[in-house]
Amino acid sequence: MEHTTVENKKHRVSITHMNNAHSEWLRALSFYKDEFKILQERLTEIAGKNTDAAVMKEVDHFENQFAIQAENINKLSHEIKANVSAAAEESHASSAGYIDGVLLTQHNELQSKFDIEEKIIKDLRQSFNRFASEWM
């Protein structure tokens, strides 16, 4: 029985650690969503000053990418909030304040999704800034 308890502890994570990560991810996603609004304003300004077909093609591309990433942010934020809620319920059931099992797996998957989304956003920002510096 002792071995099982020790083994279970290896697969547990503190709810505080999870909450800190969730809060950090949600703040970052909110920041990125706000940043897309600013980038969209810059894009609108570029479109107003440049009617060249090649520029307009790039404007459409960035508009589409901003919309897609904003939707991805919304979906990921919803998934994170659902994980927060489920973790809180499990934590209340555990007097030690730990969660394990499925929620830990979901948390790790969310970490991976967040990391991927953050990389996509940063790459998109960098690409847009190159485009904007050329046409503003």
Give the model's pLDDT for residue 12: 61
CA-angle at 61, arms to 57 and 66, nearest 5°: 150
The yes-or-no verdict on residue 6 having pLDDT over 70 is: no
Of residues 18 and 133, more confidence is placed in 133
Q: What are phi and psi for residue 75, nearest 5 degrees?
A: -65, -45
**Distance in angstroms between the alpha carbons of the first and the last residue of the chain:** 68
CA-angle at 21, arms to 16 and 22, nearest 5°: 95
The yes-or-no verdict on residue 66 having pLDDT over 80 is: yes
CB atoms within 10 A of CB 62: 21
Give the model's pLDDT for residue 11: 54
Got the DSSP string for 29-72? Answer: HHHHHHHHHHHHHHHHHHHHH---HHHHHHHHHHHHHHHHHHHH
Identity of residue 45: E
Query: What's the mean per-residue pLDDT of the chain?
Result: 86
Q: What structural domains does the chain harbor?
A: 2-135 (1.20.58)
Task: Please state the rounded mean pLDDT for residues 48-67.
Answer: 95
pLDDT one-digit tens code per residue, 75-133? 999 999 999 888 878 777 766 666 667 788 898 999 999 999 999 999 999 999 999 99
**Non-local CB neighbours of 46 within 8 Å, separated by 6+ positions:** 55, 59, 131, 132, 135, 136
